Structure 1
């Protein structure tokens, strides 16, 4: 007798009435953070990213936000910047060049054009450009190479 109820239970559990189906498409795979943008600032002498609601942005737009510096909330997190106030830079998805233009009037002082950047300032630009380009192209950030004046193609990982 004990075998019959167990057999009946097994039949009921396996005969649910759902037949086999073929492959059902579900669209594109998730690509991670697509809303907003990530900018790179400096925290305790290391690069640190901050999410911004603007975007997704192209590389030049992201760098313009970066040049504006951290927001009040980001400064509360001890985020800062190593970018010079008089930075003039031309940005593409694949890199940047320093604009060797004329001196700039900043805070009542004439500053010469920026000809060199510190390692942290360069990292801020490289990682911000790489994040924006990766989001635009649907790639992982590590797959994006950014051309740096005098250094060639580098990745964000080279500055972390």
Structure 2
């Protein structure tokens, strides 16, 4: 029995020594210096996005990175042209159709006047219509800021519905930020 105990102790000591060597060696991984891998990932995608309405009634942003953009109002034409074929197949649609629009303002404040329109803030479709305008215009304004300091949710958009002739008042909604419509 004594020989077996000695063999067992020697095996345990050898195993402990091997574990110690591996721990001290760091499993072969050698330290490296600092590796510059560029900017860290950020939460928002870069580039132009416009917003359409899904089958479930939620706003969804789609990328339009190949579209030249000189002013925020240009996104309204993109909204009016609607989703492309694959986006339509996935259930996206636009509520922004023909009409006259006027976008004014700069920096983090924009106003869009929509002519010949009455909006009901309690209507889900009118809320999504407003959200399409607000989110798409805010994203366009952020993309146009060459300093890169303007985030889409920094941009406040007021929507003014200018009713058809014969209706007395212009209705003002907002100012809104895009996240008001993405909840």
TM-score of the pair, normalised by structure 1: 0.65
Q: Which residue of 2 aligns with 1:67?
A: 80
Q: Measure, in 1, the Cα distance between the counterparts of 2:149 and 2:86.
A: 29
Structure number with greater Rg is 2
As a proportion of its length, which structure holds more helix? Answer: 2
CA RMSD of aligned residues (A): 3.3
TM-aligned CA distance change 1:119 to 1:19, over 3 Å: closer
Structure 1 spans left out of the alignment, 5+ residues: 100-112
- The answer to whether the 8 Å contact 2:158/2:176 transfers is yes
Structure scoring higher RCO (CA < 8 A, sep ≥ 6) equals 1
User: Is 1:114 matched up with 2:116?
Assistant: yes
- For 2:24, the equivalent position in structure 1 comes to 14
Alignment match, 2:4: none
Q: How does 1:1-160 map to 2 (within 5 A)?
A: 1=10, 2-15=12-25, 16=28, 18-19=30-31, 24-31=35-42, 32-34=44-46, 37-44=48-55, 46-55=57-66, 59-90=72-103, 92=106, 94-98=109-113, 113-117=115-119, 118-134=126-142, 137=148, 141=152, 143-149=153-159, 150-160=172-182
Task: Give TM-score scaled by structure 2 length.
Answer: 0.58
Counterpart contact for 1:57–1:132, Cα < 8 Å: no
Q: Which runs of 5+ in 2 are unaligned?
A: 1-9, 120-125, 160-171
